[in-house]
Amino acid sequence: MRVRVPVPLPVRISVALPVLRRALTGLALALALTLGAGAVAAPAQASGYRYWSFWDRQGTTWTYATQGPATAHPSDGDVQGFRFAVSADSKDAATPRTAPTFDEVCASTPAKPGRKRVALALDFGTPQDAPGGETPPAARTACAQVPEDATTADALAAVAKPLRYNSAALLCAIAGYPHTGCGEQVSGKTRTKAPNQSAEPQDSAERSSDSGPSLGLLAGIAAILAVAAAAIWQSRRRPRD
């Protein structure tokens, strides 16, 4: 003869609680990982500075200048460039978008004794990098013929006035652009795309991979909830003798 021995409700609950506690702990961990992954994946608001960067042309490559235009002394035949953009630092700075050769810029400027010729490429940047209410002029080149001991700043002043400097001798404007501002910090910077960089939006698969938790993670959370429910249901059954 089988005798049914009822298990008091407090006992059934005490049996189920460890299992339920483990299930809920796993669920909390999964949710924390989900939120943490979202925090890592979210792009941070970058900060940069809006300014004129200074470049030397080395062969076929623009190289960030190691000194300022007021102290640089180019040689006859050198090519130098300036680019206005929002950049975080020298590694992030955008190069001039044109790459002229010395012969292309200075072919019509004959050499003269006691003077040197410097080819300058002036890139006023994009509308996205312009200060509010201003429109960047078109990029241009110029051949500056200056005394042999002249600096890059002297060459720039010979072909691109007016120039504007701040009290710390930072170059703020070339050919009057921009009208205001000088190296100000810009939050939420928008990067300027390189000419060969695609501007097409991401496809749906790429967007879905960044839009939230993965399907596998959601399935894992559902499984944890199922285990918790099963534990509660099992604890409510009466054991048979």
pLDDT at 198: 27
Reply yes or no on whether the pLDDT at 178 is more than 50. Answer: yes
pLDDT of amino acid 226: 57
pLDDT attached to residue 35: 45
> pLDDT at position 140, please?
98
- 7 burial class (0-12, 13-18, 19+ CB within 10 angstroms)? middle
Question: What CA–CA distance (Å, rounded) separates 35 from 104?
Answer: 56
pTM for the predicted model, two decimal places:
0.61
Across 36-50, average pLDDT: 57
Tens-digit pLDDT profile for residues 75-104:
999 999 999 999 988 888 999 999 999 999
Rounded mean pLDDT of 56-77? 96
| pLDDT band, very low/low/confident/very high, at 180 (cuts 50, 70, 90) | very high
Instruction: Average the pLDDT over 44-72 and give the result.
Output: 90
- Judged against a pLDDT cut of 80, whether residue 204 lies above it is answered with no
For a pLDDT cut of 70, what percent of the chain falls above it? Answer: 59
Q: Rounded to an integer, what distance in angstroms lies between the CA atom of residue 155 and that of residue 65?
A: 15
Helix axes 9-41, 215-236, angle to 10 degrees: 170
The span from the CA of 232 to the CA of 180, in Å, is 70
Q: What is the pLDDT of residues 8-27, one digit of tens each?
A: 544 444 444 555 456 555 55
Round to whole Å and give the CA distance between 9 and 143: 94
